[in-house]
């Protein structure tokens, strides 16, 4: 059976959502209750099934399987060197066990292995790096920290020794494109197989004719002739061209600098390890801030990262992103500083521009399309030193009339500059 720590952490996390305090106390005291049943009862008491299990059936199934596995495991074996090695392989490419957010499965696993992992020596952490990163990330989440404190478990935030930690090679942009193309082709092939043979025979001539018309229309429009179909195609193309890049295509996230040093071959560059709460650990990022911010003010600093730029080598070291910084209105002579996330932010928190909520950023920005270069000049700071993007909403009837400062924010609040009004952000 799972340990009492897991039960106490889980119930403390969701106790605030339950109206029946006595029922929660009974769940905490029932040491014989399997984790699967505990989760089910909590879902009924709190109405938070999506948070407890995950938002869809796939996540719920994965969460349940993990709970069953943890119910049937011995904590000592789970936290042994062999157990952690096996667990490390399962955590290599994920941030959480079953969903994009932590579920009760994560809480149970974290509570089971925290006492062992948090006391590991650097060499032990480096032997199972994904486990160390996982435990560190969970321990620094506000909800987990608050619940651990309420349950008096003594789980303080854990920071691994990142120096010497093995890294996982990140996928190259071309690999991501190939994988995306392969997935589309596989889906198309599967859909084609599912169609009845006679249906395919009847539809293919029509598809061919439709395709020929589609290919012909742009040529007619380009030549200046053609009827309604050609003009319609040209209008659609013109509309697409005038839309332009959107700020939501840029992946901005909260991170924390966990180590920093001077670049060995560039006097003006810092070499940083920045934790964005990703499964494969902190990113290497290079920043030209040596002449603007003392290194002691950069250590353990919370920052904002641009996380979907194509990796770039700078003096022999590859940088996997950049820190979003504010440059004084009068230029670099007036100073440069990293912008601040709002108070209470956690690593991995997403940043968005007001009015563009719910839109997913690009996996990797295509340098040829100049997306960031087009968006960046409109970043600024307001009279209140709040970070903003000046522009129109994507569905604005009159984009010029709709242009205004739209704040950059997270769930915790608005990004800000410590010192600069009217700064540029880059």
The full set of domain ranges for the chain reads: 4-150, 173-243, 247-425
- pLDDT at residue number 376: 95
- Average pLDDT, stretch 155-172? 76
- pLDDT at residue number 238: 35
In this structure, the number of other CB atoms found within 10 A of the CB of residue 292 comes to 17
In this structure, the number of other CB atoms found within 10 A of the CB of residue 328 comes to 20
- Angle subtended by helix axes 129-139 and 81-91, to nearest 10: 80
What would the pLDDT profile of 208-235 be if each residue is shown by its tens digit? 555 554 454 444 333 333 333 333 343 3
Higher pLDDT, 37 or 280: 37
Contact 109, 97 (CB under 8 A): yes
Higher pLDDT, 109 or 198: 109
Confirm or reject CATH 2.40.50.140 for domain 247-425, answering yes or no: yes
- pLDDT at residue number 172: 56
In this structure, the number of other CB atoms found within 10 A of the CB of residue 389 comes to 24
3 state DSSP class of 317: strand
- Average pLDDT, stretch 280-294? 93
- pLDDT at residue number 252: 97
Cα–Cα distance list, 146 to 22, 143, 229, 244, 344 (Å): 21, 5, 61, 43, 12
**275: part of which helix (H) or strand (E)?**
strand 270-275
To the nearest 10°, report the CA torsion of 261, 265, 266, 269.
-30
- pLDDT at residue number 21: 77
What would the pLDDT profile of 328-369 be if each residue is shown by its tens digit? 999 999 999 999 999 989 999 999 999 999 889 999 999 889
What would the pLDDT profile of 85-143 be if each residue is shown by its tens digit? 999 988 887 888 988 888 999 999 999 999 999 999 999 999 999 999 899 989 988 88
- pLDDT at residue number 395: 84
Q: Is the confidence at residue 25, as pLDDT, over 70? A: yes
Tokens of 55: 């938002």
Contact 37, 107 (CB under 8 A): no
Q: In sequence order, what are the beta bridge partners of 24?
A: none
- Angle subtended by helix axes 197-223 and 228-243, to nearest 10: 80
What's the angle, vertex CA 258, arms to CA 320 and CA 128, rounded to 5?
A: 85
What's the angle, vertex CA 348, arms to CA 380 and CA 85, rounded to 5?
A: 155
- pLDDT at residue number 191: 64
Tokens of 215: 């290919």
Contact 31, 7 (CB under 8 A): yes
- pLDDT at residue number 206: 52
> Residue 386 — very low, low, confident or very high, per pLDDT cuts 50/70/90?
very high
- Which CATH class name applies to 4-150? mainly alpha
Q: In sequence order, what are the beta bridge partners of 327?
A: 336, 424
Domain pair 4-150 / 247-425, same fold: no
């Amino acid at each position: 059976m799972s340990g009492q720590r897991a039960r106490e952490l889980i119930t403390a996390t969701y106790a605030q959502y339950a109206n029946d305090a006595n029922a929660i106390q009974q769940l905490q005291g029932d040491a014989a209750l399997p984790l699967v049943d505990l989760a089910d009862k909590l879902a009924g008491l709190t109405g938070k099934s999506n948070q407890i299990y995950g938002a869809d059936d796939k996540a719920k199934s994965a969460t349940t399987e993990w709970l069953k596995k943890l119910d049937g495991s011995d904590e000592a074996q789970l936290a042994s060197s062999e157990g952690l090695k096996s667990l490390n392989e399962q955590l290599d490419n994920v941030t959480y066990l079953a969903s994009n957010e932590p579920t009760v499965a994560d809480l149970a696993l974290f509570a089971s292995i925290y006492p062992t992992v948090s006391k590991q020596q650097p060499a032990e952490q480096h032997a199972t790096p994904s486990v160390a990163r996982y435990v560190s990330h969970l321990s620094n989440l506000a909800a987990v920290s608050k619940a651990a404190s309420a349950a008096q478990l003594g789980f303080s935030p854990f920071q691994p020794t990142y120096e010497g930690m093995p890294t996982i090679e990140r996928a190259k942009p071309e690999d991501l494109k190939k994988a995306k193309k392969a997935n589309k082709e596989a889906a198309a092939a599967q859909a084609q197989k599912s169609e009845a043979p006679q249906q395919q025979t009847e539809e293919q001539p029509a598809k061919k004719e439709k395709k020929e018309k589609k290919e012909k229309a742009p040529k007619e429009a380009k030549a200046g002739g053609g009827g309604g179909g050609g003009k319609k195609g040209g209008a659609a193309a013109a509309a697409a061209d005038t839309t332009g890049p959107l700020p939501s295509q840029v992946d901005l996230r909260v991170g924390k600098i966990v180590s920093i040093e001077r670049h060995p071959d560039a006097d003006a560059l810092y070499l940083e390890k920045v934790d964005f709460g990703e499964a494969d650990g902190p990113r290497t990022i290079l920043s030209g801030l040596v002449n603007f911010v003392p290194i002691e003010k950069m250590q353990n600093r919370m920052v904002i990262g641009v996380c979907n730029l194509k990796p770039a080598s700078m003096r022999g070291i590859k940088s996997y992103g950049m820190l979003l910084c504010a440059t004084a209105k009068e230029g670099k002579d007036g100073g440069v500083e990293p912008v601040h996330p709002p108070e209470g932010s956690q690593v991995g928190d997403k940043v968005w521009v007001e009015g563009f909520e719910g839109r997913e950023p690009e996996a990797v920005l295509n340098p040829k399309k100049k997306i960031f270069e087009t968006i960046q000049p409109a970043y600024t700071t307001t009279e209140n030193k709040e970070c903003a993007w000046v522009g129109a909403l994507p569905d604005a009837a009159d984009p010029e009339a709709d242009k205004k400062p739209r704040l950059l924010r997270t769930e915790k609040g608005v990004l800000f500059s410590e010192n600069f009004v009217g700064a540029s952000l880059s």
